[in-house]
Amino acid sequence: MTRALLGSLLGFWMVSDGLIHTTDTPDALLTVAERSDYRATARYAEVVDLLNRLARQSPLVRRSSLGVTFEGREIPMLIVADPPVESPADLRHTAGPDARLVVLAIGNIHAGEVDGKEALPMVVRELLATPHHPLLRDVVLLVAPIYNADGNERVSRDNRPGQVGPEEGMGIRENAQGLDLNRDFIKLEAPETRALVDVLKRWDPAIFIDTHTTNGCYHRYVITYETPKTPAGNQQLIEFARDEMMPEVSRGMLARYGVPSFVYGDFNRAHTRWDTYPCHARFGTSYVGLRNRISVLSEGYSYATYEQRVLGTRDFVKSILEYAAANKDRIRRLLADVDAATIAAGRAPDPAERVALQTEATAAPHRAVAAGYVEETRDGRVVSTGVPKDYEVELWTHFRGTLAVARPTGYYVPPSLEVVIDKLRQHGVAFELLTSPRDADVEVYRVDAVKSAAEPFQNHRLSTVQVTPRRERREIQAGWAFVTTAQPLGSLAVYLLEPRCEDGLTAWNYVDEHLAPGRDFPILRAAP
């Protein structure tokens, strides 16, 4: 759609029934991408200005804040609902068929990947263009288009050289601390991540959408996507999102908007495999799944035009919203069942049920045809010839545990591990501080070996620990924290606190000063 046509459409919007009404010029509600004919992307002040205009000009929008960045920039957020909603408290009085699903969508977690930053305000604008849009009867939409606001301001034409546009430049991958915000969801070291997790705790969105741009191979999909896949999470939730919801969303988007999509991945060199990224919960999509909620990674194809990526991301988010509205009762029941199952598993652990701590990728039970191109090597680089070619591939998009433990009823964390207790609090994992001594049957880990990674990663050298368990009776002193696994975040608690978890708090060095061969691991497992 051209800028002129968009402008003329905006000019016809009237003051009525929650429609946008504007005293500004029609261009005032266009994104920077649209106004520049897809040559540029918005700077921070331009995003804030556009979101403020949307909030001022529709009674269905509330201007809010997700949090504050490392450099002190507010992370703007819009709340879009009909009837309007100010806070989570406004949703607590509704239940049954009148209850609405909360959906949170963010853009720019990697500030060079700007598709979502431009697309998400378009989604809001289009929803508001229809009086009492039917989606807003069923969905409350939270939108934060410029999550990595600090990285966004470090604009250069040299950033992301393999990406097609915007030609006037874009931001950088990391935040102002030099942290990859999509590797921070366990350690929560960035203020942006802590703020986002606070929104997850307060609003409890049923669906989380995280918009990116690919770094990968040549293929013929405008959008690729991924869903929760950490085996420590609930298998019913994983299978629903991966095998039911997203294939239907993909089919619907192609039918309604003509946008092709496929599960996220890259071809191997022989084009016989399609490999996804690891399942660690340090990634936002996997982390939200471990919180028993649905999450979707959106990846615009970096070799598509900037306009195709932005509009494809817009249509992908709309397609997820359409699916959520059409299936809200089923989704609500699923999430309630998953929470109940997690609580029950912690209350009376089944010795046969194991929680995966270390994982490996495995092939899906079926092969698939992936749409690619004929490729050739030029000057030592593999490049696309532009000639379409389909490849039958194994989908290496599933994961299984290689090391797992029985779920305990809970964990005892000593007050000396204040940093661990603080991380539990930041994640929203429930615990109680003992006010008097307690005799308890516990499992104690004896540390056999500790190894630190040879290379630093995100300012850490990840630890790998080997342990031997034993059972004994102990008196747990007042001041210790007891973390029950009979809570909706019970699986996340196991993932965070087990010493051998490949991505838990021990791996991220939060227990390092207590790790030595021959010494007891300080966190105790409550024996059933």
The domain that contains 239 carries what CATH number?
3.40.630.10
Distance CA 410, CA 181 (A): 30
- Do 438 and 314 share a structural domain? no
Question: Helices (DSSP H) in 182-258: which residue ranges?
Answer: 191-203, 235-239, 246-257
The residue-averaged pLDDT of 466-487 equals 98
Check: CB of residue 193 under 8 Å from CB of residue 132: no
Query: Is 476 within a domain?
Result: yes
**For residue 99, what pLDDT is reported?**
87
- Has residue 93 got a pLDDT over 80? no
**For residue 17, what pLDDT is reported?**
40
- CA distances for 157 relative to 110, 164, 165, 299, 446, angstroms: 16, 11, 9, 21, 53
- Do 140 and 11 share a structural domain? yes
Query: Is 49 within a domain?
Result: yes
Q: What is the pLDDT of residues 399-436, one digit of tens each?
A: 999 999 999 999 999 999 999 999 999 999 999 999 99
Question: Helices (DSSP H) in 240-384: which residue ranges?
Answer: 246-257, 284-290, 306-326, 328-347
Distance CA 405, CA 401 (A): 10
Distance CA 214, CA 263 (A): 12
SS3 assignment, position 192? helix
**For residue 27, what pLDDT is reported?**
83
Question: Helices (DSSP H) in 448-526: which residue ranges?
Answer: 490-497
Check: CB of residue 242 under 8 Å from CB of residue 229: yes
**For residue 20, what pLDDT is reported?**
40
- Do 418 and 387 share a structural domain? no
Q: Which of 519, 387, 502 is nearest to 447 (CA)?
A: 519
**For residue 26, what pLDDT is reported?**
60
Query: Is 235 within a domain?
Result: yes
- Do 369 and 312 share a structural domain? no
Considering only 45-59, 67-81, 94-108, 125-139, which range has the smallest mean pLDDT? Answer: 94-108
- Do 33 and 112 share a structural domain? yes
**pTM for this prediction:** 0.94
Query: Is 351 within a domain?
Result: no
Query: Is 309 within a domain?
Result: yes
Domain ends where: 353, 372, 400?
400
Query: Is 129 within a domain?
Result: yes
Pairing of strands 410-413, 398-406: unpaired
- Has residue 5 got a pLDDT over 50? no
Give the pLDDT band of residue 6 (cuts 50, 70, 90).
Answer: very low
Q: What is the pLDDT of residues 252-297, one digit of tens each?
A: 999 999 999 999 999 999 999 999 999 999 999 999 999 999 999 9
- Do 495 and 431 share a structural domain? yes
- Has residue 15 got a pLDDT over 80? no
**For residue 266, what pLDDT is reported?**
97
- Do 184 and 47 share a structural domain? yes
- Do 428 and 388 share a structural domain? no
* Number of Cβ within a 10 Å radius of residue 468: 9
Which structural domain range is residue 414 located in? 406-526
Taking phi over 0 as left and psi of -120 to 50 as alpha, with beta for the rest, 404 belongs to beta
- Do 413 and 378 share a structural domain? no
Query: Is 352 within a domain?
Result: no
- Do 169 and 69 share a structural domain? yes
The residue-averaged pLDDT of 107-132 equals 97
Residues, the chain = 528
Total tally of structural domains belonging to the chain: 3
Pairing of strands 367-378, 381-396: antiparallel
Burial class (CB in 10 A: 0-12, 13-18, 19+), 90: middle
User: Which tokens belong to 38?
Assistant: 């897809």
- Do 39 and 60 share a structural domain? yes
Q: Which helix (H) or strand (E) holds 6?
A: helix 3-11
Q: Which of 399, 406, 431 is nearest to 418 (CA)?
A: 431
Share of the chain above pLDDT 70, in %: 94
Query: Is 356 within a domain?
Result: no
- Do 194 and 50 share a structural domain? yes
Q: Which helix (H) or strand (E) holds 122?
A: helix 115-128
SS3 assignment, position 2? coil
